[in-house]
Each structure stands twice: as C-alpha cells, then as structure tokens.
Copies of this chain bind each other. A is one copy, B any other.
Amino acid sequence: MSIAETPEPPYTAVIFTSTRTPGDNGYTQMLQRMEDLAAEQPGYLGIESVKDGLSGITVSYWRDESDAAAWKQVAEHLVAQQRGQQVWYDDYRVRVATVGRDYGRG
C-alpha cells in the first residue's frame, strides 16, 4: 500500500470496514475492477486499502461528498455492492466523513 497523495483539506473520506465470509467467490477479481473503476470517477483523489485474512479497511478519498455519492450510484458498482451484501461480506460498515485536517510525513 502507498499512502494516498491527497490535496489540502477539506475533502471527503469514505471509510469502509468489513469482515468477509470464507472463500473468494469472485471477490478478488471484482475488487480489482472496482478499484480501477473508482479511479476513473470525477473527484477521485486516491484509495488506501489493507486486508488481513477476512478483515479489511479501505478508505477512498473524494473531492467532496457529492463525488463520493455519485460513485456509490455507478451501475457496475451497484451490482458489486449487492453481491457484497449477499455473498462476500459477513459484516461491514461505511462511514462518510469530511477530513478537516491532516498531517504526517507523506
């Protein structure tokens, strides 16, 4: 993982935390496709994702909340979300947040 090079705040962070069901069931392929597709959307700023076994945290960054909301409604993404709820995720939570300040070495 490389740390996303986001601009000066404010911007929007979508924090997606999940625990998966066992087995791949097409998950890995869909995940890569979704990461590629997200990167093409208006207002996309970057993504950070770490998985350990069945646990995962993915944070995607967006110019503003309306860009994040538009990505949620992209047709292919809607299909993936539905399959996630039905097959891939045991539990998950999405938190939409406004980053007000940031700091660090990056």
Q: Which residues of A contact B (CB under 8 A)?
A: 1-4, 6, 9, 13, 15, 17-19, 48-52, 55-57, 59, 65, 85, 89, 91-106
Contact = CB atoms under 8 A, between A and B. Distances in A.
Contact of A93 (B17, B51, B105): B105
25 contacts: A1-B17, A1-B57, A3-B91, A3-B92, A3-B93, A4-B93, A6-B95, A13-B13, A13-B97, A15-B99, A17-B48, A49-B57, A50-B57, A51-B52, A89-B105, A91-B104, A91-B105, A92-B104, A92-B106, A93-B102, A94-B104, A95-B102, A96-B101, A97-B99, A98-B98
Nearest to A18: B3
A58 to B, nearest CB: 8
B93 A104 contact: yes
Contacts of A19: 1-3
Main secondary structure of the interface of A (DSSP, over half): strand
B92 A59 contact: no
